[in-house]
Amino acid sequence: MVVASLTLGAVVGVLLSGAFLYVEVGRFAEPQVPVTLFDERKELFAYTAGLFVGIPLAIAFVLFQLSMGNAALPSALLFLGLLVLGDEVAQWALLRTKYWGADLSRPFYALGYRAAIGGIISLAVVSQYLANPSITVDGTGLVLLESAALVALQVAGGFLSLPAAGASERTGGSPFAGALFSAVGFFLLGLGYLGGEATGYVGALVALLGAALVYRRLRPMLARVPAPSAGPKPPAPEGPLAYGRTVSPRTPSKGEPPRKDG
C-alpha cells in the first residue's frame, strides 16, 4: 500500500510539474519562438535539483498539515515559516551559483526549480492521503486540487521573488514578496484540516486562482529575456579546418608532394 501510494503520488507530482514545463516554459523554446530563450540543459538540471531539494520542504508541509489538523497553530506557523524560508533560501542559492545565476535566462531556471519542488510536495500530499483507510471521491478531488495549487503557488512565489529587470513595467520583486504570497497560499491550503472538506475546497480554489493571476500578470517578463545565443557570432575561420576531410592550410615544404583532397 505504501509503495502504491508513493507511486501514484509521484505520478501526480511529476505530471503537474512536468506539464508546467512543457506548456509554459516550452512556449519560449524552438519552434514556438525563433530562438530558444534559455539553455535547455540548465533547465533540465534545475528541475532535477528541485526534485531533491523538495524532499525536506515536503516534510515541512506535511508537518504543517498535521499541526493544522490537530489545531496546534503555533506548531503549524513554525512549520509554515520553515517551509517558506526553505523555498526562498533554495531559490536564492540556485541563482547565486555560477552555473545558473550568471545566465540572463535565470528566471526560467528558477521557475523549473520551483515547479519541481511543488511536484515533490504534491507527491507527499497525495501519498499521505492514499495511505488513509478511507478514500472518497470528494477527498480525492480535494487532494488533486491542492496538488495543482501547490505547484502554482511555488511557481508564482518564485516569480515574485525575482527582482524586476530592465525596462519592465513591474515595480519590484523580492524574496519577502514571494515569501509572503507563498505563506498566505499555503495557509489557505491548510484550512481544510480545520474546517472540513468544504473549507478545504474553498481555500485550495482561492490559492490556485490567486497563483494563476499572479503568474499571468508576470509571465510577459519571460518574453523579454534575451536568448543565450543572442551575443556576437564567433569569427569565421580564415582557412580550411585541419580535421575531418578538409585540407590543412599548411604550405607543403620543399620536396614534399602536395596533399590531395579526400
- 26: DSSP letter: G
Whether 48 is covered by a domain: the verdict is yes
Whether 238 is covered by a domain: the verdict is no
Q: Are 184 and 130 in contact (CB under 8 A)?
A: no
User: Which residues span the domain enclosing 164?
Assistant: 2-223
Residue 148 pLDDT: 96
Share of residues in the chain with pLDDT > 70 (%) = 83
Whether 188 is covered by a domain: the verdict is yes
Residue 172 pLDDT: 56
User: Across the chain, what does the average pLDDT equal?
Assistant: 85
Q: Match 503555533 to its residue by C-alpha cell.
A: 74
Task: Work out whether the CA dihedral 124, 130, 136, 141 comes out positive or negative.
Answer: positive
Q: What is the pLDDT of residues 173-192, one digit of tens each?
A: 788 999 999 999 999 999 98
Can you tell me the distance from the alpha carbon of 142 to that of 46, in angstroms, rounded to the nearest whole number? 29
Whether 240 is covered by a domain: the verdict is no
* Between 133 and 189, the higher pLDDT residue: 189
Whether 252 is covered by a domain: the verdict is no
Per-residue pLDDT at 156 exceeds 90: yes
Query: Which triple of cell numbers denotes residue 157?
Result: 512565489
* Between 254 and 211, the higher pLDDT residue: 211
Residue 179 pLDDT: 94
Q: Which residues contact 170 (CB under 8 A, 6 or more apart)?
A: 164, 218, 221
Can you tell me the distance from the alpha carbon of 21 to that of 6, in angstroms, rounded to the nearest whole number? 22
Whether 31 is covered by a domain: the verdict is yes
CA-CA distances (angstroms) from residue 260 to 62, 71, 246, 252? 72, 85, 10, 11
Residue 182 pLDDT: 95
Domain count for the chain, please give it.
1
Q: What is the pLDDT of residues 73-117, one digit of tens each?
A: 999 999 999 999 999 999 999 999 988 888 788 999 999 999 999
